Each structure stands twice: as C-alpha cells, then as structure tokens.
Amino acid sequence: MLSERRLQVLRAIVQDYVGTEEPVGSKALTERHSLGVSPATVRNDMAALEDEGFIAQPHTSAGRIPTDKGYRLFVDKLAGVKPMTAPERRAIQNFLDGAVDLDDVVARTVRLLAQLTRQVAVVQYPSLTRSTVRHVELLSLAPARVMLVLITDTGRVEQRMVDCPAPFGEASLADLRARLNSRVAGRRFADVPQLVEDLPEGFDIEDRGTVTTVLSTLLETLVEENEERLMIGGTANLTRFGHDFPLTIRPVLEALEEQVVLLKLLGEAGDSGMTVRIGHENAYEGLNSTSVVSVGYGSGGEAVAKLGVVGPTRMDYPGTMGAVRAVARYVGQILAES
C-alpha cells in the first residue's frame, strides 16, 4: 500500500502536469507544494510510484508524467468534483434558458460544455425508447402518403414518410390516430411495440395493409440503432492537445465523426452517476490517448440520454467533472419544464 505522502506526491504530480503540460521533476514539486520533505525523498517516492505503474518517465533525465493508472487513482481517491461557482451556475442557466426547441437546447448545451471545459463536447439527444410518448400525429399528405410524427415528453420530434399500399381516407386516418394515441400516449416508447401489436385487427380489411405499414414504420423508428442522435462541438479545442498532434488529433476527429463509435462510447458508460474513462480504458483505439467524462441526464429521476466531453488524458478532472455534472443537471431541468 502506498503511504499517505506518496499519494500526495502523485496528486501533486498530476496537478502540476495538468497545469504545465510538462514532465515534473522532484525539485519543482517540493518548491510548488509544501510537502515538508526534500527533493531526494520525493525522488524515492517517485521511484516507488513508478514501480507501481502510476507514473512514468518519457526519457531518462526527464521528469515524470502520470500514467493512465495514475490518473485513475487520482480520480478515484485523490480528487473530488469541483463544484461550479455561483456565477458559473447563473451563466449556465441563462445560456440554456433561451432555447426555443430541443435542437436548440442540445446545440446550446454543446456550446456551453465546450466552452466551460475547453474540450470537445458530446451531447446525446434524449433517447426515444427511454422517453414517454406525448403524442403521435398522422398527416395525410397525399391519398396514399402519410407523414408520421412522434413527439416525446422531452420535446423531441421525429418524423417519417409512409407510402401506403392503398389510398387511406381522412376518416380512417383520424380513426387510426385516435386509437393509436389512446393506447400509447403517456406510455413509454419502449412499450409501444407491445401496445400496438393487435391494433390492425380493429380495422376494415382494406385499411389493414396501410395500418400495418404505418405501424411498422413506427416500430422501425424506435429501433435502437436508428433512434439515437447526437451533436458534437468544440472540436477546435483539439488543437490544444499537444505539440505532436497530427498523429493524436486525426483518430479523434475520425472517432467523433463516427456517431456509432461515440454512441457506443456513451453507452458503455455507467447508467447512473458520472463515468470517467481514461486513456486505454476506452475500447476504441483512436481514443486511447483521450479521456471521456460522461453522465446521464434526464427530466425526472431517470436518465434519458448522456452527455459528456472528450479531452486529453491530461485534463483537469475535478473541474471537468464539475462542469459536466452541472450542465447535465440544468439540461434536465430545462427538459422537465418543456
């Protein structure tokens, strides 16, 4: 087990390295942090920390930098979450309050997170399947053409065109709309498939084909893979990554463009509470030199989606976690109001 002081040394190393972006040596450490011991002692501690794999030397005769394992220990044991200051909280609230619709909420959230953390922000749209149906609308655009509009309690709106196998009258449409809504309104989207299973049975034989088509389009929209959307922002912050970044930035940008990768990334994170994935803890190779801080957000107690940031492993974890948590909280409030 590591002594208390060694943990302090590790904490100091992480803090200094995050601040300066340069390997930190024993002398500098004793000067900047009042550890009460001499550089030589710190050197011994550092040697021990290196043996345990918490820190490493880029080259002999350079200072130490934390390893992924070192950051992990730092996050788990040595640092808390830095709460936002009151002015920051007010700024967050003000910024988010002006949104006119869900797209706007998400867009503002992304900008906000990117600005607060000075990193790349990722915000997932509220998942359909985890939301509740507010209303399902059917619009007749042409005799055999229906537009299906799904509206969730979080303000998300999804629409699909449906080409019907046969013309579908206004009356039938109104009928379907009414029956559909009476079954699903207020229920969770995840339950919709079962709720509408036997719906076609109540219709005339000539309309049944169309009803089935509409319903299958509805179900397709709810399929996991299709229904997840997200927005990213703050990619310009990647340029602060490091001096070597041609090689670092490329795969990160590629990962960010692959929504599938990002969704998986967020999906892997724990469902409740904040998740921090450091460096190689991320399954996707391109993100091996980044850390991902994510948290679920939702209008009620339950998370309907996640948001987070992607940044270099050398990041200000307490500050980042504080910002992510605060933003998630306010976004949840906004959604609950709308």
Partner DNA sequence: GCTGGCACTCGGATGTGAAGAGTGCCAGGT
Partner DNA sequence: ACCTGGCACTCTTCACATCCGAGTGCCAGC
Question: Does the footprint of a copy of itself cover residue 250 (CB under 8 A)?
Answer: yes
Residue 46: burial class (beta carbons within 10 Å; 0-12, 13-18, 19+): buried
Tell which positions 134-193 bind a copy of itself, by CB under 8 A: 134-135, 137, 139, 141, 147, 149, 151, 155, 157, 159-161
Question: Does the footprint of DNA cover residue 57 (CB under 7 A)?
Answer: yes
Q: Which is nearer to DNA, 65 or 102 (CB)?
A: 65
Question: Does the footprint of a copy of itself cover residue 86 (CB under 8 A)?
Answer: no
Residue 46 · residue 55 · CB < 8 Å:
yes
Question: Does the footprint of DNA cover residue 52 (CB under 7 A)?
Answer: no
- The number of residues that bind a copy of itself (CB under 8 A) is 34
**What's the sign of the alpha-carbon dihedral 286, 290, 291, 295?**
negative
Side chain identity at residue 208, one-letter code: R
Question: Does the footprint of a copy of itself cover residue 82 (CB under 8 A)?
Answer: no
Distance between CA atoms of residues 296 and 329, nearest Å: 9
Question: Does the footprint of DNA cover residue 25 (CB under 7 A)?
Answer: yes
Q: Which is nearer to DNA, 5 or 145 (CB)?
A: 5
Closest to 135 in 3D by CA, of 123, 122, 153: 153
Question: Does the footprint of DNA cover residue 61 (CB under 7 A)?
Answer: yes
Closest distance of CB 160 from DNA, Å: 56
Residues that bind a copy of itself (CB under 8 A): 100-101, 103, 134-135, 137, 139, 141, 147, 149, 151, 155, 157, 159-161, 226, 229, 233-236, 238-239, 243, 245-246, 249-250, 253-254, 256-257, 338
